[in-house]
Structure 1
Amino acid sequence: MLYQAVYHMPTTENDNPTGSIPLALQSLFYKLQYHDTSVATKELTKSFGWDTYDSFMQHDVQELNRVLCEKLEDKMKGTVVEGTIQKLFEGHHMNYIECINVDFKSTRKESFYDLQLDVKGCKDVYASFDKYVEVERLEGDNKYHAEEHGLQLVWKIRFINLVISEMAGNFTDVNLQDQDAKKGVLFIDFPPVLQLQLKRFEYDFMRDTMVKINDRYEFPLELDLDRDNGKYLSPEADRSVRNLYMLHSVLVHSGGVHGGHYYAFIRPTLSDQWYKFDDERVTKEDVKRALEEQYGGEEELPQTNPGYNNTPFKFTKYSNAYMLVYIRVSDKDKIICDVDEKDIAEHLRIRLKKEQEEKEDKRRYKAQAHLYTIIKVARDEDLREQIGKDIYFDLVDHDKVRNFRIQKQMPFNLFKEEVAKEFGIPVQFQRFWIWAKRQNHTYRPNRPLTPQEEAQTVGALREVSNKAHNAELKLFLEVEYGVDLHPVPPPEKIKEDILLFFKLYDPEKEELRYVGRLFVKSSGKPIELITKLNEMAGFTPDEEIELFEEIKFEPSVMCERLDKRASFRFSQIEDGDIICFQKQPPPEGEEKVRFPDVPSFLEYVKNRQIVHFRALERPKEDDFCLELAKNHTYDDVVEKVAQRLGLDDPSKIRLTPHNCYSQQPKPNPIKYRSVDHLLDMLVHYNQISDILYYEVLDIPLPELQCLKTLKVAFHHATKDEITEQSTVGDVLNEIKTKVELSHPSAELRLLEVFYHKIYKIFPLHEKIENINDQYWTLRAEEIPEEEKNLGPNDRLIHVYHFTKETAQNQVVNTPQSIVKNYDSLAKVALVRGSLPFCHWDVLSIEDPDIVSSRFQTEKLANLSSREEMYMVLGSSTWAWNTDTTPKRAYAASQ
């Protein structure tokens, strides 16, 4: 029924599954029904709004179930299947309070989609239902407050009391506000699909933490909720409806309170066959595995030596049922019904069948990959399209050219026929060149294929041409055109011939583009090409041009001026080399362009970097972007930022780099001139970021770096900036100007706190240059009056608050208290009444090994030699928090 309802939810062929819960569910159900492999739920979780992080993070299954039901219920509104979720999962129960001594009963009807049943103290599901409807007596301090039920009840009760009192000869008014009462829950109706959430996770007040209940808990294959004459039902319930349920699925949680694994046993059809769904694995299981082995409790290990009277070893099972789904027997045929293709929208069938075909093609493609070679063919058209747009260096990005998947056994001559069909170039007009990677990491056409090589198979040719032995063969297709622009046979190439590629640079437009290729003689000179190059560029025949050889671009750009009167052989020009040319630049000093020649432009292209600047206090928002160069100095960068912000003094700019992994600012800003270039600011391990954070300071950064910043906790944290030559006394005087004291003459002290324990009280004369607040917390506090004049018998004790979870240990707000040497423990305990831990128990640690391992016992700077920190009469006083307020709620999956 749910399957049919989901399929009948309106969707269109233009919907995206990651943004449409109905389409994502339809797709998931279809794949589960018609595919023979496991399916992914990524589209469904994305449609919830979960990102990759949320999908990998464990979620409580009860939470997921409710989210899914709420989303579906909302998406079904206004459609033909509106109300399906309520029909399937919604039941109702009645909360009632009935006064014992007064004729009054209050009831409230509530709906539910699932029931949470107690596990602890319950043998099975029936015991949990007994506890669910158990009557609670409201007596004593817990009496029911009945005043709110109206004047009609008030006067009715008083009239009855008046009649009774006249007969008895006295009158006693009744307290209508507080009445003894009975409180309970009864069910009005159960849903066709009953979802039972078992409370396996509870808060343990004794241990002050969440725990998992692994007790044995039984659940039947058939659940009768009409038992004992319908004791779970309210008087208003329809007794003609038979509440007999069959078990449909068991969800199991394996693990503990802080994490675990979910899997399920499901009976998806009306047969008795059970299946176990565990991630991508689905296996057939018998009913015993689905029921009895999921009860939990303890299990005995089989004895290895049965002849001996060995005591059986028992262990707790941490895998047990966490959620049960029952289906009403009388509704099973409607709920577990067959769904065929007529229930599925045509656009959905077409879409999903196409997806399956594509998936099958990919699988077959991968399985047969070893039989094929990928041939990537670059042409002049690709060079013309890419150079100056996608790329500037070398000739082509091979990932963006036409590629062919060819069987390795195919003769290369047959492959040329495939090329002829694809590009319309007859076979006799094709000549292919092999690309080669040079020692300077450039990639250029190296030589044409020989007729003998073209007679080989594609696989053999790849082995000959590809020293890296990867699956690709990269070729350049040379096609020559006659004066009528029709293809002609390529000219015969002799050893003297060199194939060169030409790029044209326009300084005014800052544009670099590919203009063609030429064969030249190695004995020839560049000056002989001037007229032809001017023709290719569209210049006048006598235009003066400059030529540059593009040599390499990694790790730095090398582009050198070419001597127009030296031979190509003398200049070491060879096949595949790139010549860049431009109009003659103006004399030095008269340039009106940013990059007057090819080398300066290529240097700019190589180093340019768009940087997104964000204010440090708004780390998620881009404020502005600047085009900078990776080789810009520190001063260049801050000057550009200051200009953009309209700031006169660039030294007031402080920059902070970006962490590419956490997507947040790094903890430490960049110090003044501590990096050489912009690239040093952007590199984070092996990644280059394009984000920097900025601050505008009140004082220049070099001056600020001569100051020392201390973060001092005084109720509310504050930061003080003072010179490194200052003393602790100077710090405290500065703090007095920033905090509110109990009285003007209050004295302060500065403490060093680490892992919730006080390690040091700083003397007032100590210099602050050696004080570190990066790992230690600095705490400033007022010195209590009673501590200012300690007597010989006075001693400071340190109070340390601890819990079962060490992460919650802390020093209390008043960490030190005065007691006398002769005070009893009762007197010490009495001290807590005046401190903010009156609800804690006081414990004493007697073991000196524990004390010495947990606490530093060095003398405090301002205490006498026999007053040791954390020690009172050889023991440490700890406070154990008996407050039962829950600290934190845990999901079952945490």
Structure 2
Amino acid sequence: MSANRNQNTTPARLNDQQQRSPPTAAEVENIIPAVPNYRDHGIIEEAQMTVSPQSDADMEDKENDVDMVEVRQIHNARARNTFSNADGQAPGLPSRQEEGVPDFTSNISTDDNATVPTGEFFPYTAEEALLLQRDNNSLKNSKSRVQPKQVKNGNFGERMETDHDPSKDTDEDEDRYKPEGSLTLKIDRFSEFARAGTPETQQRLSTPVYIRGLPWKILAIPRDAGRGPVDRRQSKALGFFLQCNGEANDTTWNCTASATLRILSQKEGCDSLLDPNNGYIKDDTVLLQVEVSADARMESIGTARSTLDILTLFFTNKLRKAVYMMPTEDDDPECSVAVAMQRVFYELQFSDTPVGTKKLTKSFGWDSVDSFLQHDVQELCRVLLDNLESKMKSTVVADTIPSLFKGKMKSYIKCKNVDFESSREEFYYDVQLNVKGKADIMESFRDYTEPEVLDGDNKYDAGEHGMQPAEKGVKFLSFPPVLHLQLMRFQYDPSLDANVKINDRFQFPLELKLNEFVDEHGVEDDYTYLLHAVLVHSGDFHGGHYVVFINTNLKGNTRWCKSYTNAYMLVYVKKSAVGDALAPVSEEDIPNHLKFRFENEKKKDVQRKKEKEEASYYCEIMLVTDEAMKVHNGFELFDPKALEGNLNSKLKVEKSMSIKDLYKFVANNVGYKENEFRLWNFSESADRNKRDFHHYQHETSRPRGLLRYESNELGNHHGFNSSDLLDNDHTLYLETRERVPLFPQVLQHERKVVEYKGPIFLNSDKDLASHLPEIAERLGLPVDTHLNLYAELRPESIVALKQMRALVRDERHLSEDGSIMVAEMADKVSPTCNASLYFKELYNSIEVEAHVNVDGLGTPSNSPAPPIKGKIGLDWPLNRVCKWVGKEIDCDPEKILLWKVSQHNEKPTVYLSENYTTYLAKDMLSLSSPNTYDPRAGKCYKLFYSKLPIKVVDLEHRNHVRLQALYDKFQITEIALFPEKGGNVQSLLDEAKKVFKFSPNGTKELRLVHVGIGANCMRVFQVFPKEQLISEIYMRYSTSILRVEECQKTSWNYQKVKCCSL
């Protein structure tokens, strides 16, 4: 069950009649479907469903939208709700014990007077596990409520109490972190509860029960039934909810659980809730009960088996301290294994939420695909420990990992009949033990150390002693303080030709003594070990359920919570090293820079989640003021990109806000009074989120509707849908006058800029000529200045306003919501300097990046030239573009080859070798249509070129040939040559001499050879004569590699060599 602070109640509603009398048969028929009438302790069942817990406010709004839940009589049935997590998925928690799999148990004493083993085990189920405890003190104080099973003949039988009396439990003794619990709510005076009062005054809450450290309560509320037929409007419903952590203020927590909600029958059978004869109500009292199973866990993305080992490393406290002490201040948090491990350990120690492992697995190279594979525990453990040990080198904790996990063994071969032995000592970090056919762990160790006899055809070669019968085996020289034992549950079965899981019974003790397996020459010590952790798998080779049991208090008293397990890994701690390896870890042991880093990450995550939650309730608006428009020089009134970069222009508002409240909100943020400005909605048809620019088409960025202050509710005004304003991100114009605006701009020819001076207001009943003095004054010009006026409709459409005597309302190029008007002083106009030419040049001017086409016709370069940035005109002919490129790279413009660019992916397609004087740049860039080009986007376009050794106009008379060139010191590279069509080998070699790099003391003579199909082949199969035609060679050897190389002084006269083909 995923429950957040504002998502803490999950309803299960049961139909009930408002009157206390039983329903009629017809009414019952409408509510209860025809099912068998079971009478043995009937339980009202809710159909299984998956729901997302909601806040109380949301629940109030949506109650009447939920259909009535079916009420049925099912014999011994349960109504199970599976509550979804934050992603909307329903995490069903599997059973704790796999059916059909043999039980496996610890091997302990069979004596009836045997003492209960020491230690305290906590189960952690679901796909991953997490010990949800604040610190070690809470671990020591918590006590499991699960009763141990009775020991019978070495196996655990029925559960029985050994050292814990539940009757003596008090509130202080209660385990607040238990994985499951039962809640009960007794509603007395139920008829009064269901009949009178409001839900706020009549709700009933049960006493909280703590599960996984969170308070859980039953919430009961009387409700009117939801939608239904007219004749059922008087019916009542019981709102039956499970509340989790309802009083918490923190919004970041969650808990995954499954819950069963029941109304307990107090008598056999049921027909209706309020009928005392049916057993659900007795003495005007109803009993509600909920069973909750909440498993704390560590979240991973598929590596469940391997990430459990992280928990065993976490509870090796000495290692945890060493991990905290690693120097990671300068590490990249995205790819550092050390930082990722520190983050996981820190969150495991302090977080109340499941701990994710995605960043950890990503840091050591498992991508999103690898993470869903079932990695081996040993694989993950070695990857982690290797990375951590490398990071700890040259630090104060450099020896921590070897001192904890490194043991020493000797591999030997000893001859039986002669005094000869070959041995090698090596270190190990874990031991792999066979399970198949072995009764217990001691038998597996004996099998591991049992020598193999080398005899017969398999005798050992003892050097000067010859072939000798011998024994081959391993002996342990020492065991580490923390011993990891890998139980080989998964092995290859030749008969099935598949990997299978071995479910053989295998016993392992709480106390393990390994002195008998230490060689006589090994380190003398007391190798007595205590069981620290058990990693369990329930399932088969293809998948299953992974659990880890960790003993967090080896020196304390133990109560068993699980006995039958299918272990695949065991962790033992040397008894004499418990105090050192498992010493408590406090907050003071964590460096301050780690606390600062991870707390900041947590704050950012909380803020990100909060913003995500608020996204559906808020929208962002951008305010455009006169000041923002005055600094803009170009088409339209402002640059949306520049506005988006200005944080002061962005405001977050509630979508439900009325227009009047919006005015108040804006006034408080911009410093105006509410009656000193008006808000206009700017409209654009562009989708700024489109990655493909060719779908980015502005209609205009103009005011489209006035937001009237008097409007208290959102609605339509002047053709403007105000709900559109607050449903998405929009732009508002902040206008400080009271009339419909016109936006005049003046064209300054001397500086080639257009300046905006502020809005003016036209009287629609007057002509344009009468407004000329007002326009001139607004533009800062004398009132008698003769002006030419233009209306900017679109970037490609600037229309002259010639009908000066026409009324404003009759001028079709002026909009009643506001238009952009451009004025120029008539006395400064000339054929080469006027508004039409200015806007044409502004429209055609684009930013470009000129790149060398690495796949072009020229010789490839090991270090391509950097791109050239600058401005060109779409109306430039291609030869002018070549001159611009040639000037930038210091190359003959006639040897610059241009490529046509795809409008879809901006990649070069075909080269343009003709009509450079007639084709334009817009043809090359595929920007010939207004549908593919909009200057307001401010986009930088790519163009591609190639440098040729010949002029572009000569390409039609030449062949393009790619060859290998062999230089001094056997360096091979690729060159491009352009011999004449119909030429021979000599003409090809003449072209090659222009680009070939001859050795200082070489012959300066070249030859063309055939070297087969290998790219780096040094062998020469054939030398082509100089008079042979190139066309013949390429017709015969089109799939082979040809190479040009310099002739050596000691070589024979290649002109007299007769060519022979192989």
Q: Same fold (TM over 0.5)?
A: yes
- Band of TM-score, shorter chain: 0.5 to 0.7
Q: Which residue is 2:1010 aligned to?
A: 739
* Compared CA separation, residues 90 and 695, structure 1 to 2 (3 A): farther
Where does 1:242-253 land on structure 2 (aligned, <5 Å)? 242=528, 247-249=533-535
* Compared CA separation, residues 648 and 520, structure 1 to 2 (3 A): same
Q: Distance in 2 between matches of 1:516 and 1:254?
A: 76
Q: CA deviation at 1:416?
A: 2.8
Aligned counterpart in structure 2 of residue 266 of structure 1, from 534, 548, 562 = 548
Query: Residue type matched to 2:672 in 1?
Result: I
Q: Which residue is 1:188 aligned to?
A: 477
Contact residue 615 and residue 694 of structure 1 kept, 8 A: no
SS in 2 for 1:518: coil
* Compared CA separation, residues 107 and 380, structure 1 to 2 (3 A): farther
Q: CA deviation at 1:38?
A: 4.2
Aligned counterpart in structure 1 of residue 674 of structure 2, from 427, 436, 451 = 427
Contact residue 657 and residue 692 of structure 1 kept, 8 A: yes
Q: Distance in 2 between matches of 1:182 and 1:54?
A: 42
Q: Distance in 2 between matches of 1:254 and 1:391?
A: 68
Deviates more, 1:338-347 or 1:53-62: 53-62
Contact residue 710 and residue 720 of structure 1 kept, 8 A: yes
Q: CA deviation at 1:420?
A: 2.6
Contact residue 92 and residue 110 of structure 1 kept, 8 A: yes
Q: Distance in 2 between matches of 1:743 and 1:566?
A: 89
Q: Distance in 2 between matches of 1:658 and 1:55?
A: 38
Q: Distance in 2 between matches of 1:202 and 1:717?
A: 52
* Compared CA separation, residues 520 and 266, structure 1 to 2 (3 A): same
SS in 1 for 2:386: helix
1:236 aligns with 2:512: no
Aligned counterpart in structure 1 of residue 867 of structure 2, from 603, 610, 624 = 624
Contact residue 653 and residue 697 of structure 1 kept, 8 A: yes
Query: Residue type matched to 1:609 in 2?
Result: V
Contact residue 655 and residue 726 of structure 2 kept, 8 A: no
Aligned counterpart in structure 2 of residue 416 of structure 1, from 663, 686, 696 = 663
Aligned counterpart in structure 2 of residue 600 of structure 1, from 840, 865, 870 = 840
Superposed CA offset, 1:692-747 (max 9, x none): 6654344566866788889999xx999999999999xxx9xx99941269999989
Query: Residue type matched to 2:867 in 1?
Result: F
Q: Which residue is 2:889 aligned to?
A: 645
Aligned counterpart in structure 2 of residue 696 of structure 1, from 929, 947, 955 = 947
Superposed CA offset, 1:839-870 (max 9, x none): xxxxxxxxxxxxxxxxxxxxxxxxxxxxxxxx
Q: CA deviation at 1:290?
A: 4.9
Q: Which residue is 2:706 aligned to?
A: 448
Q: Distance in 2 between matches of 1:622 and 1:262?
A: 56
Q: Distance in 2 between matches of 1:644 and 1:478?
A: 45
Q: Distance in 1 between matches of 2:585 and 2:635?
A: 53
Superposed CA offset, 1:413-461 (max 9, x none): 34433323222212222322233457972131123233542x33x5898
Contact residue 658 and residue 682 of structure 1 kept, 8 A: yes
1:17 aligns with 2:333: yes
* Compared CA separation, residues 412 and 743, structure 1 to 2 (3 A): closer
* Compared CA separation, residues 740 and 68, structure 1 to 2 (3 A): same
1:110 aligns with 2:426: yes
Query: Residue type matched to 1:31 in 2?
Result: E
Contact residue 705 and residue 717 of structure 2 kept, 8 A: no
Superposed CA offset, 1:552-582 (max 9, x none): 24xxx32334449465443531233223456
SS in 1 for 2:742: strand
1:216 aligns with 2:502: yes
* Compared CA separation, residues 267 and 224, structure 1 to 2 (3 A): closer
Aligned counterpart in structure 1 of residue 798 of structure 2, from 542, 546, 559 = 559
SS in 1 for 2:321: helix
1:465 aligns with 2:721: yes
1:500 aligns with 2:742: yes
Where does 1:517-532 land on structure 2 (aligned, <5 Å)? 517-522=759-764
Q: CA deviation at 1:75?
A: 3.2
CA-based RMSD of the aligned residues comes to 6.4
In structure 2, stretches of 5+ residues that fail to align are 1-316, 555-560, 686-696, 934-938, 965-971, 993-1005, 1013-1017, 1043-1061
Contact residue 1011 and residue 1022 of structure 2 kept, 8 A: no
Query: Residue type matched to 2:522 in 1?
Result: E
Q: Distance in 1 between matches of 2:501 and 2:1035?
A: 57
Q: Which residue is 1:812 aligned to?
A: none
Q: CA deviation at 1:603?
A: 0.9
Query: Residue type matched to 1:189 in 2?
Result: S
Query: Residue type matched to 1:626 in 2?
Result: K
Q: Which residue is 1:573 aligned to?
A: 814
Q: Which residue is 1:3 aligned to?
A: 320
SS in 2 for 1:573: coil
Contact residue 391 and residue 397 of structure 1 kept, 8 A: no
Q: Distance in 1 between matches of 2:435 and 2:904?
A: 46
Q: Distance in 2 between matches of 1:135 and 1:231?
A: 16
SS in 2 for 1:521: coil
Query: Residue type matched to 2:527 in 1?
Result: V
SS in 2 for 1:551: strand
1:326 aligns with 2:612: no
Contact residue 507 and residue 597 of structure 1 kept, 8 A: no
* Compared CA separation, residues 725 and 73, structure 1 to 2 (3 A): same
Q: Which residue is 1:486 aligned to?
A: none
Q: Distance in 2 between matches of 1:130 and 1:706?
A: 83
Q: Distance in 2 between matches of 1:120 and 1:722?
A: 75
SS in 1 for 2:502: coil
1:76 aligns with 2:392: yes
SS in 1 for 2:521: coil
Superposed CA offset, 1:153-211 (max 9, x none): xxxxxxxxxxxxxxxxxxxxxx499998766543322334445678999999x9xxxx9
SS in 2 for 1:188: strand
Structure showing greater relative contact order (alpha-carbon pairs closer than 8 Å, 6 or more residues apart):
2
What is the TM-score with the length of structure 1 in the denominator? 0.55
SS in 2 for 1:235: coil
* Compared CA separation, residues 367 and 57, structure 1 to 2 (3 A): same
Q: Which residue is 1:29 aligned to?
A: 345
Where does 1:125-524 land on structure 2 (aligned, <5 Å)? 130=447, 134=451, 175=464, 184-195=473-484, 213-214=499-500, 216=502, 220=506, 222=508, 230-231=516-517, 233=519, 235-242=521-528, 247-249=533-535, 264-270=546-552, 290-291=566-567, 324=569, 326-328=571-573, 330=575, 331=577, 339=585, 341-345=587-591, 348-349=594-595, 352-353=598-599, 355-356=601-602, 359-360=605-606, 362-367=608-613, 369-372=615-618, 374-384=620-630, 397=643, 402-407=649-654, 410-437=657-684, 441-453=699-711, 455-456=712-713, 465-466=721-722, 468=724, 471-472=727-728, 474=730, 476=732, 478=734, 480=736, 490-491=737-738, 493=739, 498-503=740-745, 511=753, 514-522=756-764
- Aligned residue pairs, count: 653
* Compared CA separation, residues 646 and 415, structure 1 to 2 (3 A): closer
* Compared CA separation, residues 702 and 120, structure 1 to 2 (3 A): farther
Q: CA deviation at 1:499?
A: 0.8
* Compared CA separation, residues 421 and 131, structure 1 to 2 (3 A): same
Q: Which residue is 1:829 aligned to?
A: none
Contact residue 682 and residue 690 of structure 1 kept, 8 A: no
SS in 2 for 1:267: strand
Q: Distance in 1 between matches of 2:474 and 2:904?
A: 55
Query: Residue type matched to 1:476 in 2?
Result: L
Contact residue 786 and residue 827 of structure 2 kept, 8 A: no
Query: Residue type matched to 2:572 in 1?
Result: I
Q: CA deviation at 1:354?
A: 5.4
SS in 2 for 1:647: coil
Contact residue 659 and residue 708 of structure 2 kept, 8 A: no
* Compared CA separation, residues 49 and 690, structure 1 to 2 (3 A): farther
* Compared CA separation, residues 532 and 620, structure 1 to 2 (3 A): farther
